[in-house]
Structure 1
């Protein structure tokens, strides 16, 4: 594929000699047209040196295409090497990472993320990542930093790779906490990790928000009531529907889909594990494109009751 074409003219009497010459030298003649007693035509710029051996009179008119602008700049005393470097940098910025930016408030975490990004092959001048690869990195980082990070997003803008996060609020728990554990949302019980307390539900039970999961009250063999500390986690499958939208502009539909999917996934709870992900629909109007996705998540639904709750 040529980056430019030269426009020439020859007199009418030389046209047959031109065609024979082009056939012998394998020169591509394009848009051959007759005007009055002259013929005009284009040839690829890279063949101009071959065409210079044509032994009949001809007139060079102009060059069209990208090369025209490069030659114009070079005629203005701009170093041609600078033009090539500029064009190369524009092309490279579309394919390679030129900067990595960590947006967060914990310096130690920021530094560790730089190290972990290198393990993910995210380095300066490495290739930009696909939407699928960005999602894999996001999932890995959510697992690695689940104890430190509440929200996290991984994305690219131009040639800059971004990791953005917010610090997890550390809840101060008393040494002996006697508060019951309740369900903070609806779900189906999957498993337990309870160190202390009396479990009130069974695996595969469907619970609603506010149901008692682990109690601080036990009855001894002497039929005596005893209050004990409560500590542990109750994991359940939860069922959620998310949607995201972008403006409807001329974009590749696959890129729009992955952009919306990554936006939705970044809003999932940091400690949740995706069990099922079902795309419900992707709709398009004149103003926006919307994606709806249904998730089955595995997450800890246990939450402490109020300080002043009555003992059970």
Structure 2
């Protein structure tokens, strides 16, 4: 007996054999390797069994030799099903059209919902979403991935702290968490203001408390700048020290720049490949082969097809080959020094507060080693050096 799946695909028939020599008929079938199974006797001269469709033609000479009669009772399998469906073209076309329409609708955007946003942010987000092409009637697989959408809309909407993006069925959901601003500051507890680093006092403004330093004083880390104790001895009161103390702080930076630099950049030329992945088997659609570019980088995107709520094992793949070129830039010593100075200044600025000002910079040491210009730079920076120190009971 063959495998049931094989039988279903290739087709088989149920037959009735009538005659005196039914046993002889069975023996001849076995000798000729005719596939028969489920043999059952239903009378003295009658048997019923199944035979593979591909072996039906081979029964004719055996029937003649054994002088039996053959009757076909039932036909099953894919060939008979297809033949039946062909005879019902209208019905089959209707079913296929219905499935195709469901498949298309399952892969289209039918709604975009935004939750947790104020009217202003909701409008801004709606505009950003439409610019990305997310609107009713667009196919999911032609749109950016959910992660890419989330990254882009979060960077564009400044008033939103976080925007979550999910795709549920045919609907994109955007959950917005807006920035919250403190309503009213809590009363400041009693405190001193002390120095957070070594510095020379540049300027001091005391709003509340007693100033303990004046411009040009040198202070160490932790040294008191404005005391929270106010009043005279015997009538001393505790208050939160307030004020601004700017000090001159020193920084050193070591930076090196190669005289010859090599870097890659995109030229703007590209090649696109589109394909379908069916059960992990890749089927090219457009843009066959690799590009003719010497250097390139690859960006790949994949989207699953859906049918109603089910994710199908079919993916629409987009592969972009972006041409790159390698550029070699040679700097003179003066150009390398200028670029190194600029880089060091930018790195220092990132570490400083917004109100800090670089007062002066000076190159302390310069060398050229192994094709690199190396600089040691000294900076004088004016910045706020005050930090609060709570007044503990008993001080």
Q: Shared topology, TM-score over 0.5? A: no
Between Structure 1 and Structure 2, whose CA radius of gyration is higher? 2
Question: Which structure is higher in strand share?
Answer: 2
TM-score (norm 1): 0.42
